[in-house]
Structures are given as structure tokens and as C-alpha cells.
Amino acid sequence: MANTSYLEAGHRALREEMQRDERVWALGEDLGRGGVFGQYRGLQDTFGDERIVDTPISEACIMGAAVGAAMTDTRPVVEMRFSDFALCAVDELVNQAAKARFMFGGQMRVPLVVREPIGIWRSSAAQHSQSLEAWYAHIPGLVVVAPSTPADNLGLLKSAIRCDDPVVYMEHKNLWGFEGEVPEDEHLVPLGKAEIARAGRDVTLVTWSAMRHASLETAEELAARGIEVEVIDLRTLWPWDRDTVLASVERTGRLLVAQEAVSVAGFGAEIAATVAETLHDRLEAPVRRLGAPRIPVAYAPPLEDRVRVSKDEIVEAVVGMTRTSPSRVPAGQ
């Protein structure tokens, strides 16, 4: 194992896949200069400007070229800089890439990866701070991935590049410098498989992306109060790991979903509805969701902080859920 940053893990994943398969290439704005966050630094020197391709400032052009190239037996990695900017290319992704396999009766596949950095990044304001994963999870034909750790950013990006379907790959901007242990050998993380990041008996907390880390910190604080929270990191939002989530909620009897994205129509609602429909007779407390209010993210840091899901909110929700069943309330609560 080696200690590696989230950014460097993604850089390594792309480099190794380009070395392994000559059909893998990347395109986007300023990739030759390393990309907006430095995640492509040095790759053009290694692989040349025909495999690390600088493009015009036109997201629709970038995505359209990648979709066509994917249909002709290459595996493009598309850099959109910010998920907000990718909305300029949503037609090419949603109406073309996502539907091609179905419309051509399985004869056409579109194996491309669209990297769309998400999340609140200090004072980036309303047009650079959105988490739009639920939009893409809604679209048949798209795979949606949201890695939270360096090891997962390595293993999931490699799996995404090898996938034969279009993958929307959503790295969190606030995690680029986050460090963690990463295997030095070949490392793949299967798409559609969640991770139980922390075992617990009292409440199941399902989350993804940067909210994993706040959730784990909160779970440790709650453990000191005698409340054991099981934290599940989905890692892949579509397909999502229903079996792991349902098995956990069957054990705990309670579900809390925490997301950074706007709560209204967020992906957390899909998880909550599935659990409520499937385990309605096994729940010991109503299903709860935490997410951002339905407002744009402000530039001013104090207003930006009001949008974030805080550890205090998670604590309040968990404690409230455990109090609904006196038989399970830990001693002293």
C-alpha cells in the first residue's frame, strides 16, 4: 500500500489504462497544461497530443466528438472541468450516448467516461458548486459513479474505462488533496458494489462522495454516546447496491440517507423509497433524508455553510431515530 492523494490516484488510473489499452485516450480543455486541477499533468508528454487532446472551448463539441469516437472502437475519457459546464453537452450524452445501445439493438456500444467534478468548493458560487448525480441516475443507459477515497478513485476509474456503457464519473472537487492508502498493485473496484465503511447495529447511514467522511466522523462521535451507526458508501449510484443497503437496514431497523446534493428529488429519495417499500414492516423508525435546501450555492462562506449538511444535523437525526424505539435506546440516552 502507498499513501496517495485522490487526485494522484485518478491520474494513475488513467495513465495505467492508457498503457494497457491503446484505444484509451482523453480530450478536453487545457489537458496539455494538466487540466484545471492538475489531474492530467505530464500525460501529454508521455502519450502525445493525439491521445491527450486539447479541444476548443465547446462542451457540446467535446462530447459529440467523444460519442462518435466511442462508436468507432475507441474508449474516450471526456474532461468536463465542472459538472455545471457539462450541461452544455447534455444532449450528446443523454440523447445519443445513453440510448445508442438500445436504439441499435445491442449492435452499438458507447464506452466512454465523462469526468464531471462535483460538489461545494469554497466560494465557487452557484455555477461551480452543484452535485447533479441524480439527473444522470434518472437516465436509462448511463452508469453513475461517485468515488470518495483515493483507493476508490483508482479502482473505480479503471473499471469505468473498461465498461462498455457510458459512465458519468463524478469526482468531488473538495477531495483532490485528500490522502489515503492505495494498493500498489493492479486495483479494480467493481461498479455497482457498495462498501460498508463502518459496521454498526443501531442505524444505517447511506451516503456517497465527500459525505462519506463527514458521516464517518459523526459515527465515531455517536459511538462515544453508545449509538453504533453503520456507514455505507454507495460508490456507484447506478447501478446501486440494493442488496447491501437492504441487508443493513434489516439488521438496524433504521435508515438515514445523507447527500450533499439538493434534497428535493435527489438520489437519496430513491434509496428511501426502495427501503420503505421493501422493508416497511421491519422498520423501527421512519426513513430520514438529509440534503441541501433547494437554493443556489452562495459565494459568501457563511451562506455556503448553511447549505452543507453538518455533523450536528446528522447527530440530531440519528439520535432522534434511536429514541423512537425505547428498547434500542443506548444506556444514558
Cell numbers 462508436 label which residue? 71
Same domain, 178 and 200: no
Same domain, 47 and 160: yes
Domain that holds residue 299: 195-328
Look up residue 307 and give its three cell numbers: 447549505
Side chain identity at 111, as an amino acid letter? P
Looking at residue 323, what is its pLDDT?
Answer: 83
DSSP 199-227: --SSEEEEE-TTHHHHHHHHHHHHHTTT-
Look up residue 176 and give its three cell numbers: 483532490
DSSP 12-24: HHHHHHHHH-TTE
Q: Is 278 helix (H, G, I), strand (E, B) or coil?
A: helix
pLDDT, tens digit only, all 333 positions of the chain? 899 999 999 999 999 999 999 999 999 999 999 998 999 999 999 999 999 999 999 999 999 999 999 999 999 999 999 888 899 999 999 999 999 999 899 999 999 999 999 987 777 777 777 889 999 999 999 999 999 999 999 999 999 999 999 999 999 999 999 999 999 999 999 999 999 999 999 999 999 999 999 999 999 999 999 999 999 999 999 999 999 999 999 999 999 999 998 889 999 999 999 999 999 889 989 899 988 888 778 778 888 888 888 888 989 899 999 985 544 444 333
Burial class (CB in 10 A: 0-12, 13-18, 19+), 62: buried
Looking at residue 299, what is its pLDDT?
Answer: 75
Cβ atoms of 111 and 70 closer than 8 Å: yes
Q: Which of 152, 182, 212 is the last residue of a domain?
A: 182
Q: Is residue 187 part of a domain?
A: no
Same domain, 25 and 169: yes
Q: Is 314 helix (H, G, I), strand (E, B) or coil?
A: helix
The kind and range of the H/E element at 272 are: helix 267-278
Same domain, 12 and 160: yes
Active site residues: 128
Same domain, 15 and 70: yes
Same domain, 243 and 121: no
Q: Is residue 190 part of a domain?
A: no
Q: Is residue 140 part of a domain?
A: yes
Q: Which of 140, 161, 182 is the last residue of a domain?
A: 182
Cis peptide before 111 (omega within 30 of 0): no
Q: Are strands 75-79 and 113-115 parallel, antiparallel or unpaired?
A: parallel
Give the global pTM. Answer: 0.90
Cβ atoms of 149 and 210 closer than 8 Å: no
Q: Is residue 333 part of a domain?
A: no
Q: Residue 19: which CATH number?
A: 3.40.50.970
Q: Is residue 188 part of a domain?
A: no
Q: Residue 303: which CATH number?
A: 3.40.50.920
Give the total number of structural domains in the chain: 2
Same domain, 154 and 239: no
Looking at residue 326, what is its pLDDT?
Answer: 44
Q: Is residue 26 part of a domain?
A: yes
**Other C-beta atoms lying within 10 Å of the C-beta of residue 16:** 17
Looking at residue 177, what is its pLDDT?
Answer: 95
Looking at residue 294, what is its pLDDT?
Answer: 84
Same domain, 166 and 217: no
The one-character DSSP state at 11 is: H
**Cα–Cα distance for residue pair 72/91, rounded to 1 Å:** 19
Q: Is 114 helix (H, G, I), strand (E, B) or coil?
A: strand
**Cα–Cα distance for residue pair 114/69, rounded to 1 Å:** 13
Q: Is residue 270 part of a domain?
A: yes
Same domain, 9 and 114: yes
Same domain, 258 and 323: yes
Cβ atoms of 150 and 180 closer than 8 Å: yes
Rg (the chain; Cα; Å): 20
Same domain, 30 and 157: yes
- In degrees, rounded to 5, the angle at the alpha carbon of residue 112 between the alpha carbons of residues 43 and 35 is 30
Same domain, 30 and 150: yes
Q: Which of 182, 216, 244 is the last residue of a domain?
A: 182
